[in-house]
Chain A
Amino acid sequence: MIEVRKLVKDFGPIRAVDGICFKVGKGEILGFLGPNGAGKSTTMKILTCFLPPTSGTAIVGEVDVRKDSLAVRRKVGYLPEGTPLYSDMDVLGFLRFVAEVRGFRGEEAAAAVDRVMASCRLERVRHQSIDTLSKGFRQRVGFAQAILHDPPVLILDEPTDGLDPNQKHEVRDLIKSMGKEKCIILSTHILEEVEAVCTRAIIIDRGRIVADETPEGLRRRSRQHGALQLLVEADGAAMENELAELDGVEKVTCEALDDSKLCRVRIYSSADSIPLQPVLDRLAGKKCPVREVTLLKGSLDEVFRSITRKEGAAA
């Protein structure tokens, strides 16, 4: 539904987007990740026809953004970064305005507004001036505005920015519930959000795509992924050598925890599976009680940092 072809955007001497290519289909929820200034918002502004690309192009719902911007804008619902809203209007008036611009008239407009007010839980602030809304409600009004015409393509720039955990959860549920029939791109700095809602993640750094995978796949890139973590009552250094001898163990790290005689052992394996039983046997033989065993999944945070920093060093 969205196809981005060698997209480049320059702001004077700054190259904000540097030859990005990707495709997103119906039913996908794509998470855009990347450090500040990576070019996420700029890419989204091009997809929504706010900014023209310097070169390259994007096809949104079979329409080229360079050729028929009006048709693209009809198909897209967009929540710009920072949720700009007309603060002199009340919620009802604002949504009504958007409905009318989107071509709804009279009863139809009223019905569309009522529908989004219900799904974004805005009834309580129906007549409140946008000026006086709390951040969470502002965000929901922005979201309501974006989905008002039930668009096939939804582009959300940091949709959960500044929301409390409950509201984040609500917005994510809303996005997920719409994910089936739509094509959604959202940007975020919250990596757990990507795991919670996205079917795919793209990491952008300095205007280039540095990773394009499922959240699971990204996590698999983590060094921690699949490692075994044990909390053991023991003296670290001695054990490190002890365990490293075992078959299939590639590397062992031990870290004494300050507040007890506990020691955190991480075992990295070269094989597909960690030799758990031999490890436990060895520890039992040494009379070291094991307090806790965890199989690490790896964190997206770590992957994110290693990918974007590595790229930084190369430049």
Chain B
Amino acid sequence: MKNFWVILKRELAAYFNSPIAYVFIIIFLMLSAGFTFFVSGFYDTNQADLRAFFSWHPWLYLFLIPSASMRLWAEERRSGTVELLLTLPVTLADVVLGKFVASWLFVGLALFLTFPMVFTVAYLGAPDGGVILAGYLGSFLMAGAYLAIGCAASALTRNQVVAFILAVVVSLLFVLVGFGVFTGILASFLPSGLLDLVAQLGFITHFDSIQRGVLDSRDLLYFLSVMGWMLAANVVILEARRGE
């Protein structure tokens, strides 16, 4: 467990030692503000909440988060440092968790830096602080789920581009399940009971429900279990493909 912290520290430093961190943060901030203000017409709706802002997050994360996670294992494999790392006295759990949590904190920082949005709504009216907080929590949890998928994808290959594409494709499945249009298509041939079940597997259903300000433990559990399963997959993949 001590090594978890050592790995976490190294991985966090690795983000900030490379330009990726700054590019990621700047692009994330620009896109999230840009979509909110220009595409959703934040000022026109004249509502003192961050709905318009958060509703873009699943789509932003879909492309941005794989870029933050693609490096994690693929680069270790490409440069051979995975051999160095895994012959040190560390457990796979420590390494996998350390890398994951580092990337989560990093994305959390990017998310935190959107705080001026809160001031903007506060200026526009009297927003519900609890709902905003829940929105941030939901977004952070969802980011963790995307990242865990990205980590597992990165462990599969030594090529960062492949890791990126894999992560986007898998994440897209999680987004589409439960997304309006897609649900419509499924509704044409699935019985409604099954349809609900399928919708429960998607990110958006749970993210929306947290965003409304209702903290249902099922939603939290959903995101945590996606992370858990994906990180377990990450461990299994590493174990199985060590030498390749």
Contacts and interface: CB of A to CB of B under 8 A. Distances in A.
Q: Please determine whether chains A and B interact with each other in the same assembly.
A: yes
Q: Which of A88, A100, A102 has the most CB of B within 10 A?
A: A88
Contact of B17 (A73, A89, A97): A89
A100 B89 contact: no
A88 B17 contact: yes
Interface in A73-93: 73-74, 76, 78, 80, 82, 84-89, 93
Interface string B62-100: 000000000000000001111110111111000000000
25 contacts: A49-B86, A50-B83, A50-B86, A50-B243, A51-B243, A70-B91, A73-B88, A78-B84, A78-B87, A80-B84, A80-B87, A84-B79, A84-B82, A84-B83, A84-B84, A85-B81, A86-B14, A88-B14, A88-B18, A89-B10, A89-B14, A100-B6, A101-B7, A102-B89, A103-B2
5 shortest interchain CB distances as A-B pairs: A84-B80, A73-B89, A100-B6, A48-B87, A84-B81
Interface of A: 11, 45, 48-51, 70, 73-74, 76, 78, 80, 82, 84-89, 93, 97-98, 100-103, 145
B242 interface: yes
A73 B89 CA distance: 5
A73 B28 CA distance: 41
Contact of A50 (B3, B7, B242): B242
Nearest to B91: A70
Contacts of A45: 83, 243
Interface of B: 2-3, 6-7, 10, 13-14, 17-18, 79-84, 86-91, 242-243
Given A45-B243, A88-B18, A89-B17, A102 B80 contact: no
A80 B84 CA distance: 7
A101 B3 contact: yes
B80 A82 contact: yes
Contacts of B90: 101
Given A88-B14, A101-B3, A51 B79 contact: no
Contacts of B18: 88
A5 B14 CA distance: 40
Given A70-B91, A80-B80, A86-B81, 5 more contacts: A45-B243, A82-B80, A86-B14, A88-B17, A103-B2
Contacts of B7: 101
A98 B83 contact: no
A87 B79 contact: yes
Contacts of B242: 50-51
Contacts of A103: 2, 89
Contacts of B79: 84, 87
Given A84-B84, A97-B6, A11 B17 contact: no
- Report whether over half of chain B's contact residues are helix, strand or loop; otherwise say mixed: helix
A232 B3 CA distance: 70
Nearest to A142: B84
B3 A89 contact: no
Contacts of A86: 10, 14, 81, 84
Contacts of A76: 87
Contacts of A98: 88
A73 B90 CA distance: 9
Contacts of A78: 84, 87
Contacts of A93: 13
A73 B243 CA distance: 17
Nearest to A105: B2
Nearest to A48: B87
A199 B90 CA distance: 32
- Most chain A Cβ neighbours within 10 Å, of B7, B13, B87: B87
A224 to B, nearest CB: 40
Contacts of A87: 79
A49 B92 CA distance: 13
Contacts of B10: 86, 89, 97
A90 B90 CA distance: 21
Nearest to A86: B81
Contacts of B83: 45, 50, 80, 84
B54 to A, nearest CB: 33
A21 to B, nearest CB: 22
Nearest to A11: B243
B207 to A, nearest CB: 33
A112 to B, nearest CB: 14
A74 B84 contact: no
Contacts of B81: 84-86
Contact of B89 (A74, A82, A97, A145): A74
Contact of A101 (B6, B80, B243): B6
Contacts of A88: 14, 17-18
A87 B7 CA distance: 16
Nearest to B83: A80
Contacts of A101: 3, 6-7, 88-90
A129 B219 CA distance: 44
Contacts of B86: 49-50
A73 B10 CA distance: 20
